[in-house]
Chains A and B, each alone.
Chain A
Amino acid sequence: MDQIESILQRPKLYNNVDGVGELGMAFMLLGFGLLSWLQARSPAGAIWHRMDVFVMWVGLMLLGIHYGSKAIKKHITYPRTGFVEYRNLKSTRLSALVLGCATALLTALGLYLAARTHWKIDGSHWGLTTPVALIGLVFVVFYVLHMVSAVRWKLAAAAAMAVCSVAIAVLPAGVVGAVAGSASAVATLDERSSGAWLLTIVLYGAILLISGAISFVLYLQHTQPPVRVAE
């Protein structure tokens, strides 16, 4: 029975057989990191702080990742190791919709309350950057559950991400706060938390980029497009 269960999981793992899943996530994190860095290094009135620029940035980033991943799958992965179309069940779509709506509502409510009360999430409320480290570690747990069972060496990437989160949490407040620059002036988070967020997404993005790139190179080395004859 266990063997049947493991076969049933294989198509899910196939989605990242070429490292494209990780590369997409890496580009998204680095894209957000770059925008945050631009915000941190520019005055409060700069275009990087405008909502329309933010929406356009995210839109372009998502389009690039979506069509880039599709192009790699179409021209490299499918000709080498085959095409898979995943199931799009009504129940899955519905739960994703409910989860998305609930997350959006809670985020909007949190931001509204924060803006209304001019609330600053700082050390006195949360114990410095611990929440950032915890969110990072939760991501690491999901990463281990999804990736490491299939590809053992990905444990090194997970360990690197965990080490980064712990290191960011224990870094001196001045060092982490300096990373945030002026970004924290317009954000709800204090300097140290903003710096911790920025460091986390950039370091996680860099680790995923390296891990995804290694997977991609290994995939290219170990697979060849087959010579096509009648099937």
Chain B
Amino acid sequence: MNQHIQKIAELDRVIHEPGRLMIVALLFAVERSDFLYLQHETGMNKGTLSSHLSRLEEAGYVEVVKTYRGKIPQTLLSLTAKGREAFVEYRRKLKEAL
């Protein structure tokens, strides 16, 4: 098999999904953000965004913290160290593959 094609097969499938890629890229550039920011930036509905975040949380890439802003519930999200490493690696492999 061609080496470039092999590289594509090695891409992290958790991150490679377009919706999750958007989330991880947005979180990579910040310390943390809330659910509303990700919803606004990605244009996803709450259900879809929650489902992607659950998948990323399961993989250990995203940390979810439920808190309050005054009396309003707020969900804060950040990339874990493992998530940051995985995204850096994903970009490296993608660059090699393209």
B34's nearest neighbour on chain A, judged by CB, is: A83
Interface membership of A55, Cβ < 8 A: no
Q: Which of A78, A79, A82, A86 contacts B38 (CB 8 A)?
A: A82
Interface membership of A118, Cβ < 8 A: no
A153-168 vs B, CB cutoff 8 Å, 1 = contact: the mask equals 0000000000000000
Measured between beta carbons, the chain B residues less than 8 angstroms from A10 are 26, 29, 41
Determine the distance from Cα of A73 to Cα of B75 in the docked complex, in whole angstroms.
17
Minimum C-beta distance from A230 to chain B (A):
7
Determine the distance from Cα of A54 to Cα of B98 in the docked complex, in whole angstroms.
57
Interface centre among A84, A86, A226, A230 (most CB of B within 10 A): A84
Minimum C-beta distance from B18 to chain A (A):
10
Determine the distance from Cα of A230 to Cα of B70 in the docked complex, in whole angstroms.
15
CB atoms of B33 and A84 under 8 A apart = yes
CB atoms of A83 and B36 under 8 A apart = yes
CB atoms of B40 and A231 under 8 A apart = no
Known: A1-B95, A230-B73. A84 touches B25 (CB 8 A): no
Interface membership of B8, Cβ < 8 A: no
Minimum C-beta distance from A110 to chain B (A):
37
The number of residue pairs between A and B whose CB atoms lie closer than 8 Å in the complex comes to: 73
Interface residues of B in 1-57 (CB under 8 A from A): 21-22, 25-26, 28-41, 46, 50
Minimum C-beta distance from B85 to chain A (A):
16
Measured between beta carbons, the chain B residues less than 8 angstroms from A79 are 72
A61-103 vs B, CB cutoff 8 Å, 1 = contact: the mask equals 0000000000000000011011111111000000000000000
B33's nearest neighbour on chain A, judged by CB, is: A84
B49's nearest neighbour on chain A, judged by CB, is: A231
CB atoms of B50 and A82 under 8 A apart = no
Interface centre among B38, B40, B75 (most CB of A within 10 A): B40
Interface membership of B86, Cβ < 8 A: no
Interface residues of A in 5-49 (CB under 8 A from B): 7-12, 14
Interface membership of A145, Cβ < 8 A: no
Interface membership of A228, Cβ < 8 A: yes
Minimum C-beta distance from B65 to chain A (A):
12
Interface membership of B80, Cβ < 8 A: no
Known: A4-B21, A78-B69, A83-B36. A231 touches B29 (CB 8 A): no
Known: A83-B34, A83-B37, A84-B37. A8 touches B69 (CB 8 A): no
Determine the distance from Cα of A46 to Cα of B29 in the docked complex, in whole angstroms.
49
Interface contacts beyond A82-B33, A88-B31: sample of 14 additional A-B pairs, CB < 8 Å, sorted by A: A1-B94, A4-B91, A8-B25, A8-B28, A10-B26, A12-B29, A14-B41, A79-B72, A82-B41, A83-B33, A83-B37, A85-B32, A87-B31, A231-B35
For the complex of A and B, list the 9 residue pairs with the smallest distance between their C-beta atoms, beginning with the closest: A82-B37, A82-B36, A7-B25, A83-B34, A11-B29, A85-B31, A81-B40, A84-B33, A87-B31
Q: List 13 A-B contacts (CB under 8 A).
A: A4-B91, A7-B25, A7-B29, A9-B29, A10-B26, A11-B33, A14-B41, A81-B36, A82-B39, A83-B76, A84-B37, A87-B31, A231-B73
